[in-house]
């Protein structure tokens, strides 16, 4: 517990795991910060009866620590001991599960805590970047990418064979556009082969989208096949591309064979009207216009010739990583007390996000679908989101 008795000046951290809880106890400011380690996962409040829930040691310890009771007759917000209840978990699947369980618990049984804005998420860093001069903590993959990009752009320029130079804000803007498309292609990879999607940046955009004329789509498929064979096809890989018709419209079908393994990418006509295709096509046109083939890329006093804009950006990002040590924290337990205080518990530096009632409602809805007794909604949710998964834990 903490020494402060004024709830408005007190806060409690609900910490995942004993190891992180131990570091948090050492790191905290005892005057106003209390620590409650969560051992394992809190009871599934979706399926548990109220009396069973109250028999859970995890739940009763949490209720006792907060001090306001539970249930419509016993809960009294005036008795709450902390006005900042901070959920601090690892940035992985188990951590997400614990956050969802706790949000569901508070939404079902202590909704006034959410109404008053007393619930927060801690945002511990995922990375630590160290140079010879300093260390920087990075929140997540997106911030790491942004940090490396800013470093890579310092003194950078791409000089096309034609003589044009791409640098400064224009280079930064095109680099961000490229990275956004790369993220989209990563998301689409379970439906479509990435080499096929990247080849779309190297061919003439399909005009008319789903309404393109048959002759136009045939010419597009032929150009796509030539590009695939030129950039990705070799002695062990074969590509064939055609336009298929059907009740739902035409589709560009790309089949590949490598070492006896066959894959098929089917780009339905509606794909060519999607925001993803528009971004891919626009990026391709801009890369060809600004960098072309065989440009020279420079940064500070180093330079090299590369095949295209993608090669130039990869080289710049690799240069930015030179001399850096990038540590990825797998969990809160990997931080010592000083690091945990500096990054996550020091009120002058930490990042907290306040949980709204809308956040809790969304968590409750998802939790009901995934953890409830109804099978059909769960199956529908999984089928609808299977191809959008970016962090799968098996």
Give the model confidence (pLDDT) of 23-75 as tens digits: 888 889 999 999 998 876 565 555 555 666 666 677 888 899 999 998 778 88
pLDDT at 389 over 60: no
Domain ranges of the chain: 11-124+330-386, 126-166+293-328, 191-289
Q: What is the pLDDT of residue 98?
A: 83
- Tokens, residue 305: 């010739």
Least confident of 88-97, 119-128, 296-305: 88-97
pLDDT at 20 over 70: no
Q: Out of 3.30.1120, 3.10.20, 3.30.60, 3.40.50, which CATH number does the structure's domain 191-289 have?
A: 3.10.20
Strand order across the beta sheet in which 325-328 lies: 135-138, 127-130, 325-328
Residues annotated catalytic, as ranges: 16, 90, 92, 94
For residue 81, give every residue at least 6 positions away whose Cβ sits within 8 Å of its Cβ, in sequence order, or none: 7, 10, 12, 65, 66, 67, 68
For the chain, the residue count is: 394
66: closest CA among 86, 55, 81?
A: 81
Question: pLDDT digit string (tens) for 148-187?
Answer: 999 999 999 999 998 899 999 999 999 999 999 999 999 8
For residue 208, give every residue at least 6 positions away whose Cβ sits within 8 Å of its Cβ, in sequence order, or none: 216
312: closest CA among 210, 200, 178, 138?
A: 178
pLDDT at 216 over 90: yes
Average pLDDT over residues 208-220: 89
Q: Is 310 exposed, middle or buried (0-12, 13-18, 19+ CB in 10 A)?
A: middle
Work out the mean pLDDT of the chain and round it to a whole number.
84
What band does 387 get if pLDDT is binned at 50, 70 and 90? Answer: very low
User: Long-range contacts: 203-212, Cβ < 8 Å, 24+?
Assistant: 203/227, 203/284, 205/281, 205/284, 205/285, 206/272, 206/281, 209/269, 209/272, 209/273, 209/277, 210/249, 210/269, 210/270, 210/272, 210/273, 212/269, 212/272
Stated as kind and residue range, the H or E segment containing 361 is: helix 357-371
pLDDT at 18 over 60: yes
CA distances from 112 to 108, 160, 326, 353 (A): 10, 61, 42, 18
The CATH class, in words, for 11-124+330-386 is alpha beta
What band does 299 get if pLDDT is binned at 50, 70 and 90? Answer: very high
Using a pLDDT cut of 70, give the percent of the chain over it: 84
pLDDT at 194 over 70: yes
What band does 393 get if pLDDT is binned at 50, 70 and 90? Answer: very low
First to last CA, the chain: 37
Give the span between the Cα atoms of 75 and 275, in whole angstroms: 49
Give the span between the Cα atoms of 343 and 352, in whole angstroms: 11
The residue behind tokens 């409750």 is: 364
Question: pLDDT digit string (tens) for 327-383?
Answer: 998 778 788 889 889 889 999 989 898 888 776 666 566 545 455 555 565 455 444
Question: pLDDT digit string (tens) for 248-298?
Answer: 789 999 998 888 888 999 999 999 999 999 999 999 999 999 999 999 999
Q: What is the pLDDT of residue 303?
A: 94
Q: What is the pLDDT of residue 49?
A: 58
Q: Out of 3.40.190.10, 3.30.300.370, 3.40.1190.20, 3.10.180.10, which CATH number does the structure's domain 126-166+293-328 have?
A: 3.30.300.370
């Amino acid at each position: 517990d903490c020494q402060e008795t004024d709830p408005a000046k007190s806060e409690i951290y609900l910490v995942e795991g004993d190891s992180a809880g131990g570091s948090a106890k050492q790191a905290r400011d005892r005057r106003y910060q209390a620590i409650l380690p969560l051992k394992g996962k809190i009871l599934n409040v979706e399926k548990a009866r109220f009396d069973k829930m109250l028999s859970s040691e995890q739940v009763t310890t949490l209720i006792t620590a907060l001090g306001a009771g539970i249930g419509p007759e016993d809960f009294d917000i005036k008795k709450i001991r902390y006005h900042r209840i901070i959920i601090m978990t690892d940035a992985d699947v188990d951590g997400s599960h614990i956050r969802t369980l706790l949000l569901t618990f508070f939404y079902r049984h202590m909704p006034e805590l959410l109404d008053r804005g007393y619930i927060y998420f801690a945002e511990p860093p995922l990375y630590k970047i160290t140079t010879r001069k300093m260390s920087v903590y990075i929140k997540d993959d997106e911030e790491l990418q942004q940090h490396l990009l800013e470093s890579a752009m310092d003194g950078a320029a791409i000089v096309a064979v034609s003589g044009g130079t791409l640098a400064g804000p224009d280079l930064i803007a095109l680099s961000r556009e490229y990275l956004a498309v790369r993220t989209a292609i990563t998301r689409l990879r379970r439906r479509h082969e990435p080499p096929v999607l990247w080849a779309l940046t190297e061919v003439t955009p399909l005009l008319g989208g789903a309404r393109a004329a048959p002759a136009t789509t045939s010419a597009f498929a032929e150009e796509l096949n030539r590009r695939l064979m030129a950039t990705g096809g070799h002695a062990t890989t074969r590509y064939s591309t055609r336009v298929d018709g059907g009740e739902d419209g035409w589709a560009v079908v790309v089949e590949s064979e490598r070492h006896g393994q066959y894959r098929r990418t089917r780009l339905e006509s509606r794909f060519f009207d999607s925001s993803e295709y528009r971004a891919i096509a626009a990026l391709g046109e801009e890369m060809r216009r600004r960098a072309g083939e065989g440009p020279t890329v420079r940064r500070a006093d180093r330079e090299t010739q590369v095949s295209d804009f993608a090669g130039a950006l990869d080289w710049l990002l690799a240069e930015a990583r030179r001399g850096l040590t990038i540590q990825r924290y797998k969990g809160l337990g990997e931080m010592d007390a000083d690091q945990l205080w500096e990054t996550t518990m020091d009120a002058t530096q930490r990042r907290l996000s306040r949980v709204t009632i809308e956040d809790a409602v969304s968590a409750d809805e998802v939790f009901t679908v995934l953890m409830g007794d109804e099978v059909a909604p769960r199956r529908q949710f999984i089928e609808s989101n299977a191809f959008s998964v970016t962090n799968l834990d098996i």
